[in-house]
Amino acid sequence: MSYLGSLIRRYPLITFFVLAYALSWWAWPLYALDLSPSPIFPGPFVAAFIVLAITRGKTGVVGLLCRMVRWRVGVQWYAAALLIPIVVTLTALALNVFVLGAQPSSSAAELGGLPSLIPTFFILLLIPGIGGAWEEPGFRGYALPVLQNGRSALFAALIVGVLWAFWHVPFFVTGVDDWNEMVQIIAWSVALAWLFNNTRGSVLLAMMMHAMSNTIGGSFASQMFSGADSVNLAWLRGALWCVVAIVLVGVYGSQHLSRKHHKQEDPVPEVSTASPRVV
């Protein structure tokens, strides 16, 4: 056990990603046998606390918990977290219908209308294992600050985005999501890093943006289409998130993704024999 603990302390970030995948993908074969409701469980959330408990003890765990409830940020960041996903999704929906000629298979009324999405949002935000918001304590709360040590915020966000997209492979293989959503995930990672850095590391705001995107996109817009129209909607959302990411980098800069705040770096740099960091 001492050797394993030493190995984890030496390579905490690698350990986190290995655990994030292992603690998530175990449900994949069960889903294939109709024994699990999802091919993925929120392993990143658990992985972050395991690594922090072993490498930082109580201080590390409490630090992440504090970031998860960091709510004292400007009201404009709440607006950004909630409204950007709505604007992106509704714009993609409009383009799909009026430009690409998609034919909705369900109407907003049949889906319960926009007011019905409010309880869905809070369910996705507050209940672990339901929706994707609980991925954020791991990917943004733990991994992003570590990767931002010695790297630009943009580069760190893209690394997280690629690894986060790959984490979704069971969804793609089983057909729950389409492979083209990898584009959206990587671009979205830049927007989440921007939100995270500008709110002094608030995981709560990242969770809110994630929950809202899954609510308006997964529980509403994507349910209105099927077949090729659904695939096209995913491409449009991905393209629009790419536009958002490019605009944010252009306006706020790649180094910190913020004009006023320094990128959120991990207070205890990872100790390893890895190659030098690249900016």
If we measure between CA atoms, which residue out of 82, 153, 73, 149 comes closest to residue 114?
82
Token digits of residue 76: 């404009």
Q: What is the pLDDT of residue 13?
A: 97
Per the structure, the complete domain to which residue 142 belongs is given by 72-252
In a domain, 273, yes or no: no
The angle formed by the CA atoms of residues 120, 121 and 126, to the nearest 5 degrees, is 100
Q: 3-class DSSP state for residue 124? A: helix
How much is the pTM? 0.91
In a domain, 60, yes or no: no
In a domain, 247, yes or no: yes
If we measure between CA atoms, which residue out of 124, 145, 141 comes closest to residue 133?
124
Give the whole-angstrom CA distance, residue 116 versus residue 256: 37
Q: How does pLDDT run across 138-196, given as a tens digit for each residue?
A: 999 999 999 999 999 999 999 999 999 999 999 999 988 889 999 999 999 999 999 99
Number of domains in the chain: 1
In a domain, 215, yes or no: yes
Q: What is the percent of the chain with per-residue pLDDT over 90, rounded to a whole number?
A: 71
In a domain, 45, yes or no: no
Q: 115 or 216: whose pLDDT is higher?
A: 216
CA 116 to chain centre: 23
In a domain, 235, yes or no: yes
Q: How does pLDDT run across 38-81, given as a tens digit for each residue?
A: 999 889 999 999 999 999 999 999 999 999 999 999 999 999 99
In a domain, 246, yes or no: yes
Long-range contacts of 275-278 (CB under 8 A, 24+ apart): 277/149, 277/150, 277/151, 278/150, 278/151, 278/155
Q: 273 or 141: whose pLDDT is higher?
A: 141
What are residue 58's phi and psi, to 5 degrees? Answer: -60, -35
Least confident of 29-33, 159-163, 189-193, 254-258: 29-33
Q: What is the pLDDT of residue 276?
A: 39
In a domain, 53, yes or no: no
If we measure between CA atoms, which residue out of 239, 256, 2 comes closest to residue 154?
256
